[in-house]
Chain A
Amino acid sequence: ETGVTQTPRHLVMGMTNKKSLKCEQHLGHNAMYWYKQSAKKPLELMFVYSLEERVENNSVPSRFSPECPNSSHLFLHLHTLQPEDSALYLCASSQGTELIYGYTFGSGTRLTVV
Chain B
Amino acid sequence: KQEVTQIPAALSVPEGENLVLNCSFTDSAIYNLQWFRQDPGKGLTSLLLIQSSQREQTSGRLNASLDKSSGRSTLYIAASQPGDSATYLCAVPGYSGAGSYQLTFGKGTKLSVIP
Number of interface residues of A (CB under 8 A): 29
Q: Which A residues, 78 to 99, have Cβ-Cβ distances below 8 Å to chain B?
A: 88, 90, 92, 97-99
Within 8 Å of chain A (Cβ to Cβ): is B46?
yes
User: When chains A and B are docked, how far (Å) is the Cα of A50 from the Cα of B105?
Assistant: 21
Question: What are the residues of chain B within 8 A of A100 when measuring CB–CB?
Answer: 31-32, 51
Cβ of B27 to closest chain A Cβ, rounded Å: 12
CB distance A105 to B100 under 8 Å? no
Contact with B along A96-114 (1 / 0, CB 8 A): 0111101111111010000
Contacts of B4 in A (CB 8 A): 42
Q: How far is the CA of A58 from the CA of B22 in the complex (A)?
A: 28
A27-56 to B contact mask, C-beta < 8 Å, 1/0: 000000000000011110100101000011
Does B103 sit at the interface, judged by CB under 8 A? yes
Known pairs A2-B45, A6-B43; A48 contacts B100 (CB<8 A)? yes
In the bound complex, do residue A105 and residue B36 qualify as a contact, i.e. CB atoms below 8 Å apart?
yes
Please tell me if the beta carbons of A99 and B101 are within 8 angstroms of each other in the complex: yes
Contact B102 A48, beta carbon cutoff 8 Å: yes
How many Cβ-Cβ contacts under 8 Å join chain A to chain B?
69
Which of B13-21, B62-70, B74-82, B91-99 is near enough to bind chain A?
A: B91-99
Assess whether B100 is in contact with A102, with CB atoms less than 8 Å apart.
Answer: no
The answer on a CB contact under 8 Å between A43 and B101 is no
Q: Does B61 contact A (CB under 8 A)?
A: no
Cβ–Cβ < 8 Å partners of B98 in chain A: 56-58
CB contacts (< 8 Å) of B89 on chain A: these are 43
CB of B105 within 8 A of CB of A104, answer no
Q: Are B103 and A45 in contact (CB under 8 A)?
A: yes
In-complex Cβ contact of A43 among B51, B93, B94, B105 (8 A): B105
Contacts of B36 in A (CB 8 A): 105
Pick the 4 closest A-B CB pairs, nearest first: A99-B31, A102-B49, A107-B43, A105-B44
